[in-house]
Structure 1
Amino acid sequence: MSSEKKPKPLPFVANFAAGAIAGISEILTFYPLDVVKTRIQLETGKSQFGLVGTFRNIVKQEGVGRLYRGLVPPLMLEAPKRAVKFASNDFWGKTYMGLTGESKMTQNLSVLTGCSAGATESFVVVPFELVKIKLQDKHSTYKGPIDVVKQIVRKEGPLGLYVGMESTFWRHVYWNGGYFGCIYQVKHLLPKPESAQAELFNNFVSGAIGGFAGTLLNTPFDVVKSRIQGAEKIPGVAPKYNWTYPALVKIASEEGFGALYKGFVPKVLRLAPGGGVLLLVVEFTLDVFRKALGPPYI
């Protein structure tokens, strides 16, 4: 039996900071694709332009700056959002391993841990997502993030900022379950890294595949979330979309099953490499922290 000591787990604040740094790196790189994705998802009926056409129309009709419309809320959000994602994944992983008596992570535990991290993350992101969707809508007349918040609170009260909570919950549960579950599996299938460069490559590949899997699982829930959060409330009129699963059925029956995957291409173009960037930056940053803190963390 080996007597080699395992490195001490990094403190919560290190995981939190690494997630925050990774999130900001990812959002600054891929944000325009998120704007295009939202525009496509908010279209009812058959999509008129697709990825390239929507991108061109935004630039031609509204200017390049519109591709960064609504950037402030997600930029403000990315630090706490991604920090919560990776810190809560670390927390739930340790918790479930302790409860089950496992000494290392397993495939089933990695999926359960990811889903739990997603559920935790969803409670943080709803108001920011709501503001972002309102600003990204082509018909938006809001002056900026503060104006969105003021108008929503004035019309609907503080709880109005949590419209779409249930659909956001499911969106994050499925994405994180697929993301972290795939990362575990892919890392075990890839050759064992023999160098720091190989380790970075493995992290990017496993994160990118995890990002693709998470996107494949959660896009229908993202479409519903966009529809719920993008709709303007009319007094006395019941909203067309309210609860997630009935909305999924309604969209599929009215627009076809493919409508549940509206915006999939720009979404996956962002979140597949974005998932790789996230994991790569997180692991790189954590390694920097380990070296800075020294033994017993390395």
Structure 2
Amino acid sequence: MVADNKSKSDISFAGTFASSAFAACFAEICTIPLDTAKVRLQLQKKAVAGDGMTLPKYRGMLGTVATIGREEGISALWKGIVPGLHRQCLFGGLRIGLYEPVKTLYVGSDFVGDVPLSKKILAALTTGALAITVANPTDLVKVRLQAEGKLPPGVPRRYSGALNAYSTIVRQEGVGALWTGLGPNIARNAIINAAELASYDQVKETILKIPGFSDNVFTHLLSGLGAGFFAVCIGSPVDVVKSRMMGDSAYKSTLDCFIKTLKNDGPLAFYKGFIPNFGRLGSWNVIMFLTLEQAKKFVRNLESS
């Protein structure tokens, strides 16, 4: 048994998957307005030449939230929540549910002691890549719904809802289109998953070694904040490329999107939406990990009774 995770053997995979999916969905509902703001900021391009006086429509996290709420109504901030919940059930459940089994696979079932950080990162990279390969269509639909702003009068929306978006994309662009942006999405989610899960695991393990600290809500709060900070610092560039590829079909490939973004908008474009991204990922991780720890505790009691 791995000494740094006492709960590993006393909760089933189904229990871990259900706890992870529930925690991820709850965090998604709480933080999706910040995610919608982040997507709009990332998709916003520089004013074209000759139009230099035009101010950007969206400015800052709170400004973007306020603009969307004012122009499109408060409910527009929850655009993409249905595919967002589809995504979290699949992606959240798989990436977190598989993390312990994959970590055990890499260190061996007879391993005793603290798992090396390199093995934690490798396990999280693996589960992040596997999970998003399954969940990519839900991510694509979520970004497409979030990207659509206020339309001129008489202009119909591309999609009437999440299910309509899935079927329309398949009908108009083919089944393969549901996996648009899979390359940067695997890169983003494998990297962010490693930053989140491995750093949460590592920070929590480190905190628990400090006298006076125990496996409680405060420890989970600190570990969740650490996970969110590492995730957004490392994952922002691939997140921007992923959002642009999913929101705009003009890009031929990941490399094409990267080069065009760099050339047209400069290197700082890769950190567009950094503040809402950190606000979102930081709060998302805190809410998700706090909920996950409590959900696992509930499932553990349920399974042992």
One-letter code of the match for 2:190? Answer: V
Aligned to 2:135: 125
Q: Secondary structure at the match of 1:190?
A: helix
Aligned to 1:215: 232
- Of 105, 108, 114, which aligns to 2:115? 105
Q: 1: CA distance between counterparts of 2:256 and 2:110?
A: 35
Question: How has the CA–CA distance of structure 1 residues 178 and 243 changed in structure 2, closer, same or farther, with 3 Å as cutoff?
Answer: same
Displacement of 1:56 in angstroms is 1.6
| TM-score, scaled relative to structure 2 | 0.85
Aligned to 2:96: 86
- Of 183, 190, 194, which aligns to 1:166? 183
Q: 1: CA distance between counterparts of 2:235 and 2:40?
A: 17
Displacement of 1:194 in angstroms is 8.3
Per-residue CA deviation, residues 123-164 of structure 1 (Å, 9 max, x unaligned), is: 122101111111112265321112222221112211111111
Q: Secondary structure at the match of 1:45?
A: coil
Q: 1: CA distance between counterparts of 2:279 and 2:301?
A: 33
* Larger displacement relative to structure 2 (141-150 or 31-40): 141-150
Question: How has the CA–CA distance of structure 1 residues 26 and 202 changed in structure 2, closer, same or farther, with 3 Å as cutoff?
Answer: same
Report the identity percentage: 28
| TM-score, scaled relative to structure 1 | 0.87
Question: How has the CA–CA distance of structure 1 residues 91 and 118 changed in structure 2, closer, same or farther, with 3 Å as cutoff?
Answer: same
Contact map agreement 2:200 2:224 (CA 8 A) in 1: yes
- Of 268, 273, 298, which aligns to 1:288? 298
Question: How has the CA–CA distance of structure 1 residues 177 and 151 changed in structure 2, closer, same or farther, with 3 Å as cutoff?
Answer: same
Aligned to 2:15: 14
Aligned to 2:264: 254
Question: How has the CA–CA distance of structure 1 residues 40 and 100 changed in structure 2, closer, same or farther, with 3 Å as cutoff?
Answer: farther
Alignment of 1:1-298 (within 5 A): 8-45=9-46, 48=57, 49-98=59-108, 103-137=113-147, 138=149, 141-192=158-209, 199-232=216-249, 239=250, 241-294=251-304
Q: 2: CA distance between counterparts of 1:229 and 1:181?
A: 27
Count of residues paired in the alignment: 283
Q: 2: CA distance between counterparts of 1:290 and 1:147?
A: 39
Q: Secondary structure at the match of 2:216?
A: helix
Q: 1: CA distance between counterparts of 2:261 and 2:216?
A: 42
One-letter code of the match for 1:51? Answer: M
* Larger displacement relative to structure 2 (153-162 or 48-57): 48-57
Question: How has the CA–CA distance of structure 1 residues 150 and 191 changed in structure 2, closer, same or farther, with 3 Å as cutoff?
Answer: closer
Contact map agreement 2:106 2:123 (CA 8 A) in 1: yes
One-letter code of the match for 1:247? Answer: C
Q: Secondary structure at the match of 1:171?
A: helix
Aligned residues: CA RMSD: 2.4
Unmatched tracts of structure 1, length 5 or more: 1-5, 233-238
One-letter code of the match for 1:199? Answer: N
Contact map agreement 1:183 1:210 (CA 8 A) in 2: yes
